[in-house]
């Protein structure tokens, strides 16, 4: 009996000892798991830590797949956008020559006829010339030989020196001198060598659309009223025809040529007015950038730099701005007064000032530039 009690007591002591060891082991495993968790968090934070990280960087990282998709879609659809611009512009020109020009020649005075013929053809030539040059002219790229480039930084994608005002285009997959943006309507980057062509095309296209909208306003009202009459007469004709035989159906009031004429005039006015509003806003935006001596990319960079220096009590000065008037002279390539006629009001393939690799003082600017920082 005693031996049985001793054996039972020994078994109970062994069982309690095992339970005590299992509890310690579980606590040890939990402690190790907690240490591994904190160590993993520390490693992840050390890998992702960046003193410049903010909400904008996080959003850019999250939208990186979207940017990749947009870049590739824009690259492949650039030809479609160019064909669309050419097709829409050609349709407007065809309507003007087929529908509007005969009316102008029949109803306007000789002075107004000369004005429309002169201005209209001059504006068309400027649009076609600058659009062709904006598409076919390379924006400019840094040379491949690294020893020939005076770089202020290194491109993370090209792994090559990047001159001042140069940025990498993810669509073209190349660095572009004085890059403004990649324009899908040109299927080309807007940079140092074709920036003037791009802005001139936007300006003259806006002027042409405003000219067509104003000139065709009276015709548009008449054509719109005629289309409304067509709809009412067609409705009445169908109601009458429902109670008559085929041979008793009255003929249409408007011929196919009249219908096409009225609809073409409405199409011209709506398209030109819409383009004038949209492209006019874009032209004004770029005009403001040119006045400040900035590109679209530099505008965002300078804004952040201005805010950073403002916190330190300093004032940011754009080193590439020579004053509003001189900025326009440098941008348009106006060195002497006659260049306003030969290089601005007439088609001119003259190159811009400088090579885009370095930015010396242009000859048309007399005053020295202000320093970058001012207390």
Among residues 353, 292, 298, which one has the least CA distance to residue 327? 292
363: CB partners within 8 A, 6+ apart: 335, 353
353: CB partners within 8 A, 6+ apart: 330, 333, 362, 363, 364
Please give the structure tokens belonging to residue 117: 């013929």
Q: What are phi and psi of 131, to 5 degrees?
A: -70, -40
Query: Hey, is 252 helix, strand or coil?
Result: coil
Among residues 92, 102, 313, 323, which one has the least CA distance to residue 212? 92
Q: How far is CA 88 from CA 142, 170, 171, 209, in A?
A: 35, 28, 25, 12
Active site residues: 183
The H or E element spanning position 199 is: helix 195-215
Q: What residues are paired with 162 via a beta bridge?
A: 153
């Amino acid at each position: 009996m005693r031996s049985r009690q001793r054996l039972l007591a020994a078994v109970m002591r062994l069982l309690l000892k095992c339970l005590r060891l299992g509890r310690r082991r579980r606590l040890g495993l939990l402690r190790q798991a907690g240490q591994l968790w904190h160590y993993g968090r520390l490693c992840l934070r050390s890998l992702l830590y960046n003193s410049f990280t903010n909400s904008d960087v996080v959003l850019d990282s999250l939208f990186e797949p979207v940017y990749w998709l947009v870049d590739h879609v824009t690259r492949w659809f650039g030809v479609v956008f160019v064909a669309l611009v050419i097709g829409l512009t050609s349709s407007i020109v065809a309507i003007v020559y087929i529908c509007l020009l005969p009316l102008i020649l029949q109803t306007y005075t000789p002075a107004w006829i000369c004005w429309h013929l002169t201005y209209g053809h001059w504006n068309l030539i400027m649009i076609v010339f600058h659009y062709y040059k904006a598409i076919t002219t390379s924006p400019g790229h840094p040379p491949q030989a690294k020893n020939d480039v005076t770089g202020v930084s290194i491109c993370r994608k090209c792994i090559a020196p990047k001159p001042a005002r140069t940025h990498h285009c993810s669509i073209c997959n190349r660095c572009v001198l004085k890059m403004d943006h990649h324009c899908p309507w040109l299927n080309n980057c807007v940079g140092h060598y074709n920036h003037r062509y791009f802005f001139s095309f936007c300006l003259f296209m806006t002027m042409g659309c405003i000219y067509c909208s104003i000139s065709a306003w009276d015709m548009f009202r008449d054509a719109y009223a005629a289309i409304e009459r067509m709809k009412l007469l067609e409705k009445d004709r169908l109601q009458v025809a429902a109670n008559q035989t085929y041979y008793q159906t009255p003929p249409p009031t408007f011929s196919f040529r009249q219908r096409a004429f009225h609809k073409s005039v409405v199409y011209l006015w709506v398209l030109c007015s819409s383009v004038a509003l949209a492209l006019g806003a874009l032209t004004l935006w770029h005009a403001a950038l040119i006045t400040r001596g900035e590109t679209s990319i530099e505008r965002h960079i300078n804004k952040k730099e201005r805010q950073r220096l403002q916190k330190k009590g300093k004032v940011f000065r754009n080193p590439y701005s020579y004053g509003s008037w001189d900025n326009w002279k440098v941008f348009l390539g106006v060195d002497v007064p006659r260049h306003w006629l030969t290089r601005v009001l007439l088609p001119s393939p003259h190159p811009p000032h400088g090579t885009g690799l370095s930015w010396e003082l242009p000859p048309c600017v007399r005053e020295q530039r202000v320093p970058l920082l001012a207390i």
